[in-house]
Amino acid sequence: MLAKSFNRKTAIDSAVYKNRNFHWASQDTDVDIVELIEAGSIKELAINRIKNKSSMSFNRERVIQYLSNDVDYDRLLSIADGVRIDKPDNFINGKMPEKFRALQTILKNTYSFLYTRLRRKNKGIILPINKLTEEFLNNLHFKDSHWTPKEIDGRILVDDTNGILGSILNTQEVKLKGIDRYGKCNLPQMNDIFNQWVEYCISNNTRLSECSLWKEDIDGGFPQLFIDPEDVNLMATKIDEDYIFVYLHCSMGYTNIPMAFCCLSNAVNRAVLNSIKGVCKVYVDDFIGLAKDDVVIEDHNMAKTVIRNCINDHCLNETKRVDPVKVGEVLGWSINLIEETFCPSEKSRNKLLISFFFVDYNKSLSCKVYQLLASLAERYSSGLIALSCFVHPFHTMTSIGKHKRKPSASIIFCIDMWRIIGIILYADSSFFNKKIISITGHCYLNGIYIYDSIMVITDASPWKVGAAIMCRLTSRFICYTSMELPFKDDIKDYQNIREYLGKFTGLILTSIFQKNKVIKTTNIEWVNDNTAAVKWAEKDKCCSSYGHFANIIMSWFQIYSSYNVTQVQRIPGKDMGFIDDISRDVYHPLMDTVPYINIKTDITVQLFELCNPFNKRVKKNNMDAFFEVHSLLSKL
């Protein structure tokens, strides 16, 4: 099934066949060299291009007319003059390569075709090498280019990280310069978008089912911006033995270009928000809006006008436009506003399944692979409740540099878990279908959304855990419970797992407490007195083999129950009192008035035993561990 869904060799063979008859045309090879000779330098050529296209592109006049009140006004003026390509200190231009990588040789015609297409869209120039002087070539900085499969023809990405040709631009030093120049590129997650939607509904006394969403896409994204003419000499790549390409517009592959583009798109989004009645978020080049049904069409039309005014008249990609709808896709998620639910889209489900199954964790993996896995896990854990614990290990491997590293046990565990998630989604796309308000911590009461949460306080002694539910308004305890730990009393190690099992005990207590309630909140605030455990749980770190069991148990219980632990806080041990006494079998007067709920069953005892570090049973592989937990939780 996977081989049919995606096969890189098939994609390469298809690209080779499709472009087998490509031939250079004179209008692509002769025009730019003539313009270069007339201009006298590549810098002057870039200046002339900007002048000729200024009225149809993002420029200073648009900034002054439409964005003069924005907080990033000065930065926007700088971007309109051209995005700067910062260099590290002691930078030396990368030399033009003499040989090509194997894939570029195989896809020679495809590379030429794609660069021809970029040239015809006026994103750069193609120059014949035999008509360029050695001095001119030495003044250029060359970088590798990579082909990656896409739906149509594939995509070319530049790569300035390997240092084979000379100095590299993508360094931490350059990244810091970019942050200082353009600001950080902070992208919203789906929970940020959902929070904005629910807050809009609350302030307008409406429901999500009475709203519609719309989406606009900036055509091409980064290439909408010019590169500063001073720096275009740093954006060269060799196409084949005869031609080079020099980018005049921004492209993927340079670390600071996303920062410049996000600075612009965020400013445009602020202008949109000031002009519409609904709400809008921007994710790089995607504008995602929502409004009540009676104003959403007006909002959408106004947003299109504002975006065009700020960037340029032809900046919107009409083929990717989503007119106001109740059911649609946003950033890889299928949204159903009628039912007020969301789940991963079909494309996202396939991406998740393919990416994690095509990784061979028996071999050493490069930093790029770890970055890809971290990005995917981070993105989908933002909407799939309780899966953030399967993200952190990937981030620990994203700074390994050029050297390949073999995956740790934690990473193998996480890959296996995401494979399971992918299989579940492939078999049943509705399994992770959740209410949008379950992510935001709201519930529905008497026709309105309200924010509500249950405060769960837990503590763990060496041999027992105690848990209680507290009313946030009155600070009174509602009920409590306890569970004996299967650990040895005299061993003080593994305290984090003890505290984590306390958290799990609190969730079971919450589930029983809410069983007969009409209004059920899924938002949990977890309180504990162990600083290390709280930090550990807040970042969802769980790296030991028995910690993995705790993670599976916690995650899958939350998935089944829809509970979302949105807040974690620590209070001093001296203030724990009642909870501390519960975990140490010490009498407390509140035990006479606060109801006790017994959660001890054969199943909970078995679940706790799975997390026992002193259990001598044969170590199971990750899949067996998951199915054992799954079997027990399905009976709980």
- For residue 618, pLDDT over 80 is answered with no
pLDDT at 5: 47
Tell whether domain 190-221+264-343 is in CATH 3.40.50.20.
no
The stretch 427-431 carries a mean pLDDT of 85
520 pLDDT exceeds 70? no
pLDDT for the residue numbered 408: 83
Least confident of 15-19, 131-135, 589-593: 15-19
Q: How far apart are CA 242 and CA 235, in angstroms?
A: 18
How confident is the model at residue 2, as a pLDDT? Answer: 45
> Does position 350 have pLDDT exceeding 50, yes or no?
yes
191/76: higher pLDDT: 76
Give residue 3's pLDDT: 45
pLDDT tens track for 298-342: 999 999 999 999 999 999 999 999 999 999 999 889 999 999 999
pLDDT in tens, 222-268: 899 999 999 999 999 999 889 999 999 998 888 899 999 999 999 99
Provide the pLDDT confidence category of residue 78 given band limits of 50, 70 and 90.
very high
Burial per residue of 483-509, b for 16 or more beta-carbon CB atoms within 10 angstroms, e otherwise? bebbbeeeeeebbbbbbbbbbbbbbbb
Look at residue 519 in the predicted model and tell me its pLDDT: 54
Rounded to an integer, the average pLDDT of 518-526 is: 71
- Distance CA(540)–CA(533), nearest Å, equals 10
pTM of this structure: 0.84
Task: Report which of 468, 446, 448 is spatially closest to residue 459, judged by C-alpha positions.
Answer: 468
Instruction: Decide if pLDDT at 48 tops 80.
Output: yes
Q: Tokens representing 49?
A: 């291009």
3-state secondary structure 340-407: CEEEECHHHHHHHHHHHHCCCCCCCECHHHHHHHHHHHHHHHCCCCCCHHHCHHHHCCCCCCCCCECC
Q: Give the whole-number percent of the chain exceeding pLDDT 90.
A: 36
Asked if residue 263 lies in contact with residue 72, where contact means CB atoms within 8 angstroms, the answer is yes
Task: Spell out the domain ranges in the chain.
Answer: 8-184+225-254, 190-221+264-343, 346-427, 449-633
**pLDDT of 279:** 97
CA angle in degrees (0–180, nearest 5) for 616-583-495: 45
Judging by DSSP bridges, how do beta strands 477-484 and 464-470 pair with one another?
antiparallel
Average confidence score pLDDT of the chain: 85
* Whether pLDDT at 485 is above 60: yes
- The label of the residue with tokens 């950033």 reads 331
User: Does the pLDDT at position 88 exceed 50?
Assistant: yes
Select the CATH number that applies to the domain covering 449-633 from these four: 1.10.30.50, 3.40.50.10490, 3.40.50.2300, 3.30.420.10. Answer: 3.30.420.10
The whole-number pLDDT of residue 544 equals: 57
Q: What percent of the chain has pLDDT over 70?
A: 89
In order of 130, 473, 532, the CA distances from 538 in angstroms are 60, 24, 10
Q: Which of 22, 30, 12, 27 is nearest to 112 (CA)?
A: 22
3-state secondary structure of 233: helix
150-195, pLDDT tens digit by residue? 766 778 888 776 666 567 888 889 999 999 999 999 899 888 999 9
Kindly give, in sequence order, each residue whose CB lies less than 8 Å from that of residue 271, ignoring residues fewer than 6 positions away: 66, 67, 70, 306, 310
* AA letter at 199: E
Q: How confident is the model at residue 7 (pLDDT cuts 50, 70, 90)?
A: low
What is the model's pLDDT at position 163? 62
What pLDDT shows up at residue 225?
93
> Could you give the maximum distance between any two Cα atoms of the chain, in Å?
94
Question: Among 77-81, 155-159, 262-266, 478-482, which stretch is predicted with the lowest mean pLDDT?
Answer: 155-159
Q: What is the pLDDT of residue 1?
A: 42
- pLDDT band with cut points at 50, 70 and 90 for residue 473: confident
* Whether 305 contacts 268, CB under 8 Å: no
Question: Which residues are registered as beta bridge partners of 283?
Answer: 286
Q: Kindly tell me the number of DSSP H helices and DSSP E strands found in the chain.
A: 25, 20
Please count the other Cβ atoms lying within 10 Å of the Cβ belonging to residue 403.
Answer: 8
* Predicted confidence (pLDDT) at residue 420 exceeds the cutoff of 60: yes
Q: What is the pLDDT of residue 257?
A: 93
| Residue whose token pair is 């390994």 | 400
pLDDT in tens, 194-218: 999 999 999 999 999 999 999 999 9
pLDDT higher than threshold 70 for residue 6 = no
CA distances to 33, 45, 120, 296 from 27, in Å: 11, 17, 9, 46
Question: Please, are residues 266 and 280 in contact by the beta-carbon 8 Å criterion?
Answer: no
